[in-house]
């Protein structure tokens, strides 16, 4: 789906991915270092463009480009499988080229979108057990780890977690303060 607005932060902003982003998102998805924790993309830039077209029409599936404040693309982030009945959404598809603070803020803005725009009560997410940085960031936000499943494609376990509205309300001010400290430098 397409979110028509810009989600503005102090160090980054999020906007819905567009077909013209196919080349940059293809490069992100095929970068062996940055994409080692996401499912690899197959095909070509043209197939990536077709994927974006389809994604923009898929109900409950949002894919954002992360930009620095000068408008340069520095990552991508997905919010998907929105389930109105269960009042939850999943997040993932994260690739970040920004600083650690920019990447943390991009995650925070995606959580703001889920809780404030979609009005969900919980966000379900997963991270590979060897993705220590993402697991550490998830802990900062107050997730509760729920279970693990073997992911043969990556040769390790996927750790699943839930971030509730209540836990986020407690953690967001601390994370925001951290972002403020670095954004004002």
DSSP letters spanning 159-183 = EEEEEEHHHHHHHHHHHHHHHHHHH
The kind and range of the H/E element at 53 are: helix 45-57
Residue whose C-alpha is closest to residue 112's, from 93, 129, 89: 89
- What's phi and psi for 3, nearest 5 deg? -95, 120
Which tens digits make up the pLDDT trace of 97-142? 999 999 999 999 999 999 999 999 999 999 999 999 899 999 999 9
Q: Which is nearest to 63 in space by CA: 143, 2, 153, 136?
A: 2
* pLDDT tier at 38, thresholds 50, 70, 90: confident
Task: Please give the backbone phi and psi of residue 151, each rounded to the nearest 5 degrees, phi first.
Answer: -120, 95
Q: How many residues does the chain have?
A: 185
Q: How far apart, in whole angstroms, are the C-alpha atoms of residue 10 and residue 92?
A: 22
Q: Is the pLDDT of residue 69 over 80?
A: yes
Model confidence at 184: pLDDT above 80? no
Distance, CA of 30 to CA of 52 (rounded, Å): 16
Model confidence at 9, in pLDDT bands (50, 70, 90)? very high
For the segment 166-181, what is each residue's pLDDT rounded down to a tens digit? 999 999 999 999 999 9
Work out whether the CA dihedral 89, 104, 135, 128 comes out positive or negative. positive
Contacts of 183 by beta carbon, 8 Å cutoff, 6+ apart: 10, 11, 101
Q: Which residue in 49, 14, 9 sits closest to 29, CA to CA?
A: 49
Closest CA to 60 of 92, 89, 17: 89
């Amino acid at each position: 789906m397409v979110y028509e607005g810009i989600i503005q932060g102090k160090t980054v902003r999020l906007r819905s991915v567009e077909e013209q982003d196919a080349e940059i998102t293809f490069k992100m998805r095929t970068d062996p270092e940055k994409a080692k924790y996401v499912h690899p993309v197959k095909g070509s830039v043209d197939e990536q463009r077709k994927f974006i077209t389809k994604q923009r029409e898929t109900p409950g599936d949002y894919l954002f480009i992360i930009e620095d404040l000068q408008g340069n693309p520095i990552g991508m982030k997905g919010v998907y499988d929105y389930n109105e009945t269960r009042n939850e959404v999943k997040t993932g598809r994260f690739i970040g080229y920004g600083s650690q603070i920019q990447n943390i803020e991009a995650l925070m803005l995606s959580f703001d979108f889920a809780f404030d725009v979609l009005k969900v009560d919980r966000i379900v997410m997963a991270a590979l057990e060897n993705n220590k940085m993402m697991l550490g960031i998830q802990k900062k936000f107050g997730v509760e780890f729920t279970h693990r499943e073997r992911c043969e494609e990556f040769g390790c376990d996927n750790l699943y977690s839930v971030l509730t509205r209540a836990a986020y309300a407690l953690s967001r001010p601390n994370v925001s303060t951290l972002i403020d400290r670095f954004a004002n430098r």
